[in-house]
Amino acid sequence: MKTVHTAVTEIEAVTLQGLLEEAGIPVVLYPIMHAGLPEPVLPVERWDLLVPDGRAAEATEF
C-alpha cells in the first residue's frame, strides 16, 4: 500500500475515498492521531489515503 494523499479533514478524506473507489481504485483510510494524549481522547490529526502500489500512479491523477 502506498500513501497517495494526506487529508486534513475527515470530509476531504471521505470525499476522495469515494471518488477513487468510484473509479475502481480500492482505498484504505489510515487515521493519524495526536501523540501523548490519553487513549480514549485521541483526536484524529489527519488521514492518509492508501492505495495498492500498482494503482498509485492512477490514483494521483485525480
DSSP 11-46: HHHHHHHHHHHHTT---EEEEEE-TTS-GGG--EEE
Measure the CA angle with vertex 50, ends 18 and 46; round to 5°.
85
Position 32 scores a pLDDT of: 86
Residue type, 55: R
Parent domain of 19? 2-59
Q: How many Cα neighbours within 13 Å face the side chain of 41?
A: 3
Q: Is 8 helix (H, G, I), strand (E, B) or coil?
A: coil
pLDDT of residue 41: 60
DSSP, collapsed to helix, strand or coil, labels residue 9 as coil
User: What is the per-residue pLDDT for 20?
Assistant: 96
pTM beyond cutoff 0.85: no
Give how many domains the chain has, as a whole number.
Answer: 1
Average pLDDT over residues 50-54: 96
Average pLDDT over residues 8-17: 95
